[in-house]
Amino acid sequence: MREMRRDMLRLAEARIIVDHALRHARDHGFPPMTVAVLDGGGQLIAFAREDESSLLREKIARAKAMSALNMGTGTRTLAQRAEHHPHFINAITTLAEGEIIPVPGGVLVRDPESGKVIGAVGVSGHRPDEDEACAVHGIRAAELAADTG
């Protein structure tokens, strides 16, 4: 799969991310999960919602990924900012029309050679740290760099 990197996340890589994020969840006995992979422009490339994953998980997973893209950092950092600057997070959440979720589970995807952001992954279904671990596992399986913030 390795080749000269470029400025975009490819469908084949996005599918690897989804498959491996869900495999990580199953290997660890997590509840039903939802995974959304967005390109660098915020467009959905790949998505999966496991059977019995609750109804809001799709919106949460997409919003976590979009949060990372909107702010240029993983949602772990947004969670830390929310603790210390809640008014700022409330303001940007309003500006982003609700597409800011300041909890771990939104991870930037970077080209491993250039460091350029080429997409983001959002995972929802379990505790935030475990959601983030699923995203990181999937990104690394695609031989890309995961940036949690």
pLDDT at 55 exceeding the cut of 60: yes
Centre a 10 Å sphere on the Cβ of residue 15 and count the other Cβ atoms it contains. Answer: 16
pLDDT at 47: 97
CB 57 within 8 A of CB 105: no
Residues 96, 50: Cα–Cα separation, whole Å: 27
Element (H, E) at 47: strand 44-49
Residues 101, 20: Cα–Cα separation, whole Å: 23
pLDDT at 92: 87
pLDDT at 149 exceeding the cut of 70: yes
Residues 88, 10: Cα–Cα separation, whole Å: 34
Residues 22, 4: Cα–Cα separation, whole Å: 27
pLDDT at 109: 98
CB 9 within 8 A of CB 116: no
Boundaries of every domain in the chain: 11-147
pLDDT tens-digit readout, 83-115 = 999 898 889 888 888 778 899 999 999 999 999
CB 106 within 8 A of CB 65: yes
CB 142 within 8 A of CB 75: no
Q: Model-level pTM?
A: 0.91
Q: Is 49 helix (H, G, I), strand (E, B) or coil?
A: strand
Residues 137, 5: Cα–Cα separation, whole Å: 20
The residue with greater pLDDT, 17 or 5, is 17
CATH code that applies to domain 11-147: 3.30.450.150
pLDDT band with cut points at 50, 70 and 90 for residue 3: low
pLDDT at 94: 86
Instruction: Work out the average pLDDT over 120-144.
Output: 97
CB 65 within 8 A of CB 120: yes
